[in-house]
Every structure is written in structure tokens, then in C-alpha cells.
């Protein structure tokens, strides 16, 4: 799996790319609305920036961009289409032929925002692919869980669940010069849960987490028989279980 610091850095970079895209869309919306003579340019900008999942941007395209004003051929003031008279000089507009306001909002900010969105998606997809390559067993194990809350990082795996039936797995490495032990704090309320560690040669050692209920201090699992820096697979086997556990080791 990716180092935690690298993973956090990539996620921050993806967030900044998406935030930059929203800012570009906001700037483009304001300029486009102003070019169309809309008095609500500021309001549309706020909607585009604050509405999640680009819904505000889509709304502006479907509704806001259909609103426009036309220039009076006499005084040049902007007037809403369909009015009989110019709201500024009073010139009759009913039978006057004139061109609509020329829109010069530019598209550089629009293309810049779209480019940042694409880069952000590629970054997120890259994280997912790297995780699959590093730990394919995490994505192939049979698993059914309801009400799950999980914290997974180098040297720690914390999981709580209302219902868990199946198998979860992740790759771990024991730190060279470390204690080569794992501490486990488990509270299994119903069902059965086991933890197993498998070496590259296929050898697996298991313990029952149900037997750890009621211990005054976390259980210490001796892993000294496994080689240092070797890729190990840590699996959790659950059968109609409800509970939680917290595992820690040096990695």
C-alpha cells in the first residue's frame, strides 16, 4: 500500500485541483453573466461556487445563460427583450430591429476548469489503481458489512460494524528492528470473528477475536515467526458478527 504521507499528499493535491476548477468556473460564470448584461452575475457566481457536484454550473448553463439583455439602438442602455420601450431613454422598441449584446466572456477559464477536473479524476483513479496493484486481496475478498466504520493506515487497522459476514484483507509488513508483535483490542458482541496472518509461502496463523472479549489490556500477538520486511496478508474472517476491533503494529 502507499505510504500514508504520500497518500495524504496525493489526496490534498486532488482536492486543490477540484477547488481550482470550481474557482475557474466561478470566474468564467461572472464574466459570462456580465457580458450578457445580467444584473445577477454575482448571484450566479455564488450559486456555481457553493452548490456541490457542479450542480450550480449545470443550472447556470440551463437557466442563467438563456437570460440576456439587448442594447437600445439610440442610447445603448441594456434592456430586457420584449419591452415596448427602452427603460433608459424611452425609445419605442416594438418595431425596431437591433442586434443583441455581443458576448465576450472568453473561454480560457472554462477550459482551465475542465482541465483541472480531468487531472483530478486521473489522480483519484491513479490512487485506486495503485491500491489494487499493491493489495489485490483487499478488493477480491468476499465481504458483506452493514454500518461499517474503518480506519486503515500503516501500522493500524480499526474497524467497527453492525453486521459483518465474509472476509476482509490487507497487506502489511513488519518493521525491521521493531517489536514484531501486534496488539489487539476487540469487543465482539455477537457472531464469530477470527484474525489470520498469511506469509508468502501460504502458511497462516489464526486467532479468535471472540476470546479476547473482557481482557483488561490489549492482547499481544507474537509475530516473531514471520520474516522481517516480508509481505504478509492480514485477514479478518467474520460470520454474522457485530462488534469492533483495533489492531496496532510497527510498520
Q: Is the pLDDT of residue 103 over 60?
A: no
Kindly report, residue by residue over 127-168, the tens digit of the pLDDT: 777 766 666 555 555 567 777 888 888 889 999 999 998 889
CB 187 within 8 A of CB 213: yes
Best CA proximity match to 168, nearest among 108, 95, 245 = 245
Burial (Cβ within 10 Å: 0-12, 13-18, ≥19) of residue 78: middle
- CA dist., res. 125 & res. 115, Å (int): 15
Q: Which pLDDT does position 79 carry in this prediction?
A: 65
CB 39 within 8 A of CB 60: no
Of residues 21 and 103, more confidence is placed in 21
Distance linking the first and last C-alpha atoms of the chain: 11
Distances 108 to 38, 119, 189 between C-alpha atoms, Å? 21, 16, 58
- CA dist., res. 147 & res. 190, Å (int): 15
- CA dist., res. 241 & res. 243, Å (int): 7
Of residues 94 and 35, more confidence is placed in 35
For CA atoms 160, 163, 165, 166, the dihedral sign is negative
Q: Is the pLDDT of residue 97 over 50?
A: no
Q: Is the pLDDT of residue 70 over 50?
A: yes
Amino acid at each position: 500500500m502507499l505510504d500514508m504521507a504520500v497518500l495524504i499528499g496525493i489526496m490534498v493535491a486532488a482536492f486543490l485541483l477540484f477547488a481550482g476548477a470550481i474557482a475557474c468556473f466561478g470566474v468564467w460564470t461572472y464574466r459570462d453573466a456580465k457580458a450578457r448584461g445580467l444584473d445577477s452575475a454575482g448571484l450566479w457566481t455564488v450559486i456555481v461556487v457553493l452548490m456541490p457536484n457542479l450542480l450550480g454550473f449545470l443550472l447556470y448553463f440551463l437557466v442563467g445563460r438563456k437570460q440576456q439583455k439587448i442594447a437600445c439602438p439610440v442610447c445603448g442602455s441594456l434592456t430586457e427583450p420584449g419591452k415596448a420601450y427602452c427603460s433608459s431613454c424611452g425609445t419605442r422598441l416594438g418595431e425596431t430591429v437591433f442586434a443583441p449584446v455581443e458576448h465576450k466572456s472568453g473561454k480560457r477559464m472554462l477550459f482551465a476548469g475542465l482541465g483541472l477536473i480531468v487531472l483530478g479524476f486521473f489522480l483519484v483513479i491513479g490512487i485506486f489503481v495503485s491500491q489494487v496493484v499493491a493489495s489485490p486481496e483487499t478488493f477480491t475478498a468476499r465481504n458483506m458489512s452493514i454500518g461499517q466504520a474503518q480506519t486503515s493506515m500503516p501500522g493500524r487497522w480499526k474497524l467497527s460494524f453492525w453486521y459483518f459476514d465474509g472476509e476482509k484483507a490487507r497487506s502489511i509488513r513488519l518493521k525491521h528492528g521493531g517489536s514484531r508483535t501486534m496488539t489487539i483490542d476487540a469487543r465482539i458482541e455477537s457472531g464469530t470473528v477470527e484474525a489470520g496472518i498469511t506469509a508468502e509461502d501460504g502458511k497462516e496463523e489464526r486467532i479468535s477475536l471472540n476470546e479476547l472479549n473482557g481482557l483488561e489490556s490489549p492482547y499481544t500477538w507474537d509475530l516473531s515467526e514471520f520474516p522481517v520486511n516480508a509481505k504478509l496478508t492480514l485477514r479478518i474472517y467474520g460470520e454474522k458478527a457485530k462488534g469492533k476491533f483495533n489492531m496496532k503494529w510497527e510498520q
